Amino acid sequence: MSIDEIIGRLVSMIGKKVSFEDMDPVIESLSSLSELIEDGSWTPCSEALPKTADEYLVTYHPCYWGEVRPELKVGFDSFRGKTTWAKNKYQKVVAWKEKPDPYLGDVK
């Protein structure tokens, strides 16, 4: 379910008398919205760059011999600070987000 669908569902209930039994869709919608927010969304580089130098999950256009290719790929890149990505010669980063936590499996 997309954020727009969740918001639409919640807005449709505004002003209606809702019984306790009818709260399930509201709770489900809020739970879905919470999961989408926790998942994190991509930040377009045109809107903001990371505040700290670190490695990030990025969406990028690959570059070959100085030509920016139209396809989009996902990978990791290091942000060096200010405006520079480490692999800027080989890829044009268009969006970024924090690295996800690694899978730990059954490690205790």
> Quick one: tokens of 16?
């209606």
In a shared domain, residues 7 and 25: yes
Please measure the distance between the N-terminal and C-terminal CA atoms of the chain and give it in whole angstroms. Answer: 34
In a domain, 105, yes or no: no
63-98 pLDDT, tens per residue? 988 888 888 899 999 998 877 888 877 889 999 999
In a shared domain, residues 32 and 58: no
In a shared domain, residues 55 and 89: yes
In a domain, 92, yes or no: yes
38-62 pLDDT, tens per residue? 556 889 998 899 999 999 999 999 9
Total number of domains in the chain: 2
| CA gap 94, 34 in Å, rounded | 25
Tell whether pTM > 0.75: no
Domain extent at residue 10: 3-39
At 83 the pLDDT is 78
In a shared domain, residues 29 and 55: no
In a shared domain, residues 47 and 26: no
| CA gap 32, 57 in Å, rounded | 23
In a shared domain, residues 34 and 47: no
In a domain, 104, yes or no: no
Amino acid at position 69, single letter = R
In a shared domain, residues 26 and 51: no
